[in-house]
Structure 1
Amino acid sequence: MSTTSPVVAIVDGYSSGNFLPAAFTRLGARVVHVRSTPEWMTSMLLPDVSNYIGDLVYEDEQSMVRQLKELDVIAVIAGQEPGVPLADRLSELLGLATNGSDLSLARRDKYEMIEAVRKAGLLCAEQFKTADAGSAVDWAESLGSYPVVVKPLSSASTDGVSVCADADEVRRAVEQVLASRDIFDLPNREVLIQSYLDGDEYIVDTVSADGHRFAVGVWQYDKNLVNGKNIYDKDILVSEDEAVVAELVAYVDTVLAALNIQHGPTHTEVKMTSKGPALVEVGARLNGNMNPEFHQICLGHNQADLIALAYARPEAFVERYGDRVYSRRQPAIVYNAPSVQEGTVRAINDDAVREIGALDTVYLAVVKVKPGGKVRRTIDLLTSPLRIFMTGVTDEDITKDYRRLVELKDEVYQF
């Protein structure tokens, strides 16, 4: 019997996927990175390859399977959304815990995703995909009601998402998407247009092992109108005893079944509409706003360590977390501060940053743009220049500090 520590392959460990190596290390496992593309996807925070025993570049199934067999990997998982199809396929070929490749497209392509959910009989938006702005306008007009939503097929972080009030706005939004690349630096060859779902929007994060799901946390989106866009402002942690949580988790369970997600994480966005919960989209990966230490404080667990446990010690995961729901330890929000300014950053105002960090409920303030970088007017999550994690004893304490942050946010960057 081998005495070496087990090896886990992480495909495309970008952005919050950077938290996974340490989580597996804490359980005594080593990690190897698998890159699904020859070039790095520079639109996201790159993986820190120093945390891996190697960085393998995918060329073909046969050679990659051979390399992973030589390492005797015990699991293959996606670190970020572009890696989902390859992680599905490699885990399937290696005979490891897998969601299988049959529905991989539906876990990445938002059109196929909604169609799979519709096929399962679940409430969801009406939709149409096209490569032609005129066809999108025709569909919107035939729907008979505005607003409608235009978005890329496979992006994230609200990249390219527009809520359109009339045919002219639809045409402009579609043309903009088709002329651009998504967050993963891939060309948008088609665009998705959907009916607008009313109601409040929520995040439901989960981790599963062998079909046993743990609801990691439910967060409610709070939005503000900035620069002509209704953008995500705060993610607010919802207490597990609120009635909406049970309804949302039950709905997400049916979504996971429809997409055959039996293993690993999901980050699901759901609207609680006047007709009931309806899927916005689901990613088979970590929450992009996840910070392990912050989540340990407000929830007593975090998605990265739960993923590691689910793959490295699945029986222990199921025994402790399987088919259960989180308990909120204390109130928390994640504030994605918007900017009405833009320009090249000359310097960071350290006094403003210190004042932000000194607020009682601020756990961590992430200053996303360095001197020499560019701040854009915020139109989506990608263009928010500050991310601030907040938690405290009471909601009132957080609200008081949030109001001060709104006053301070535009003092951080000097142009």
Structure 2
Amino acid sequence: MSQSSSQRPTVVVVDGYSAGNFYPKAFTETGARVVHVQSTPELIPTMLAPGLSAYEENIVGDDELALVERLRRLGPVCVVAGQEGAVPLADRLSEALGVPSNGTRLSAARRDKYEMIEALRRAGVRCADQFKSSDVRELTDWAEERGVYPVVVKPLSSAASDGVYICNNAEEVTAAATAGLASQDIFGTDNTEILVQSYLKGTEYIVDTVSSDGEHYTCGVWQYEKTLLPSGKNIYNRDILLAPDAGLVPALVAYVHQVLAALDVRWGPAHAEVIMTDEGPALVEIGTRLNGNIHAGFHDVCLGHNQAHLTAQAYLRPRRFRQEYGGRVYTRRQPGVVYNTPTEQSGVVDTINTRAVDEIRALDSVFLAGPKLAPGSRIRPTTDLLSSTMRVYLTTHDQRQLDADYDTVRSLKDSVYQLASQA
């Protein structure tokens, strides 16, 4: 006989967009009832919306004090951020409610990219040089006075490579900073300041973790395969799952543990992006939320677990989690790749070529593939992660088969969308 909702612990997910959609199932299967907090009167249109039917209740919280009191009556055991922009609110709510929390003391440093790097510097952790300003001239002058190009220009608090430019001279810094200050980030917030940082030269990696009361489990390390466009933007093509004993993985894991300590991350998931420079690992950024490329079923096959379910265990079964996972590193059950397909097509999507989609899905190693655009959508040449046209998950025990299937997907990707004829 199942427990009644009154007997089950209550979990609060704040703004469960995109990857946060994996939380309701993960927490429910771990024995909790799950409620959702929507921090804005209307859903944010730039991200995959929360599946609100998966929650027992959706609370629209525009008055934070009233929200705390309403949640307190539910007796929650934890509060988690469903997406990057929800981290500060989740930190404030969890602290106010007295449940396991990373707290508010360093909350800004876990969200604001400038504060993040400065927290590492204060802790003696290797990091980039940087400067922020609301003045384009000041940003350009800093880059010129430093005298070492390229540099990276980006918003303070966006995500998914939004607004990130690699600049090779003062003119490019000026153009990137001007564009950034004239725009909003993907969460709909005005960019009132822009960040310029030293360029970290080297291969970039993902390091995903889950923490329970300060004990960390590394649940995946992936290598980014990127293409730098003439515009100064990177296309993120493939995320490649590495074996836990592969080359640089132990050094990356050890470095990310330093980052977690510097930012006082004691609870929940973290998604770190790290570049292995000639001097050693250095942080690009870290978010205390799920990996945006997570697909729970895909990760279960490749790794035997997924970050959302691990997070549920870390909060709801902390002693068991620490005994089983604390201080440990994942096992790679089989190779895996996440491919964000780029395109040079431009126009309006007329139809989806279902034959091409079916051919991709029929490949032995394709776990999941789905077009991101619908008929009537505008398709543009890919300039960043957000403008990729499909996300394809591939995994199999046979590395040669996986590589062959990846090449086949590359050959088919641009036949997925049939464009309307141009006038």
Normalising by the smaller structure, the TM-score range is over 0.9
Task: After TM superposition, give the deviation of residue 60 of structure 1 in Å.
Answer: 2.9
Distance in 1 (CA, whole Å) between partners of 2:291 and 2:396 is 21
Aligned to 1:11: 14
Deviations 1:21-56 (A, max 9, x none): 010111121111112222221110110111111111
Please tell me whether residue 66 in structure 1 is matched to residue 30 in structure 2: no
Distance in 2 (CA, whole Å) between partners of 1:249 and 1:338 is 30
Tell me how large the CA RMSD over aligned residues is: 1.3
Choose from 193, 198, 220 the match for 1:195: 198
Aligned residues: 415
Please tell me whether residue 310 in structure 1 is matched to residue 320 in structure 2: no
Distance in 1 (CA, whole Å) between partners of 2:18 and 2:171 is 35
2:154 and 2:163 in contact (8 A); partners too: yes
1:226 and 1:338 in contact (8 A); partners too: no
Moved more, 273-282 or 2-11: 2-11
AA partner of residue 399 (structure 1): D
Aligned to 1:242: 246
Aligned to 1:173: 176
Residue 93 to residue 130, structure 1, CA distance change in 2 (3 Å): same
* Corresponding residue SS for 2:145: helix
Task: After TM superposition, give the deviation of residue 65 of structure 1 in Å.
Answer: 1.4
Query: Which consecutive unaligned segments of at least 5 residues does structure 2 have?
Result: none
Aligned to 1:270: 274
Aligned to 2:329: 325
Normalised by the size of structure 2, how large is the TM-score?
0.96
Aligned to 1:107: 110
* Corresponding residue SS for 2:248: helix
| % identity of equivalent residues | 56
Choose from 368, 372, 382 the match for 1:378: 382
Task: After TM superposition, give the deviation of residue 226 of structure 1 in Å.
Answer: 5.0
* Corresponding residue SS for 1:325: coil
Distance in 2 (CA, whole Å) between partners of 1:225 and 1:353 is 27
Aligned to 2:401: 397
Deviations 1:67-117 (A, max 9, x none): 111111111111111111111111111110000001111010000000001
Distance in 1 (CA, whole Å) between partners of 2:180 and 2:335 is 37
AA partner of residue 121 (structure 1): G
Query: Which consecutive unaligned segments of at least 5 residues does structure 1 have?
Result: none
Please tell me whether residue 349 in structure 1 is matched to residue 353 in structure 2: yes
Distance in 2 (CA, whole Å) between partners of 1:153 and 1:46 is 23
Task: After TM superposition, give the deviation of residue 339 of structure 1 in Å.
Answer: 1.0
2:128 and 2:198 in contact (8 A); partners too: yes
* Corresponding residue SS for 1:128: strand
Aligned to 1:387: 391
Task: After TM superposition, give the deviation of residue 10 of structure 1 in Å.
Answer: 0.5
Deviations 1:260-279 (A, max 9, x none): 00000000000000000000
* Corresponding residue SS for 1:324: coil
Aligned to 2:135: 132
AA partner of residue 92 (structure 1): E
Distance in 2 (CA, whole Å) between partners of 1:246 and 1:210 is 22
Aligned to 2:362: 358
2:21 and 2:50 in contact (8 A); partners too: yes
AA partner of residue 203 (structure 2): D
Deviations 1:342-401 (A, max 9, x none): 221110000100111111111100211111112221100000011000111132221111
Normalised by the size of structure 1, how large is the TM-score?
0.98
Task: After TM superposition, give the deviation of residue 315 of structure 1 in Å.
Answer: 1.3
Deviations 1:187-240 (A, max 9, x none): 111100001001110000000000111101000001124574431110000100
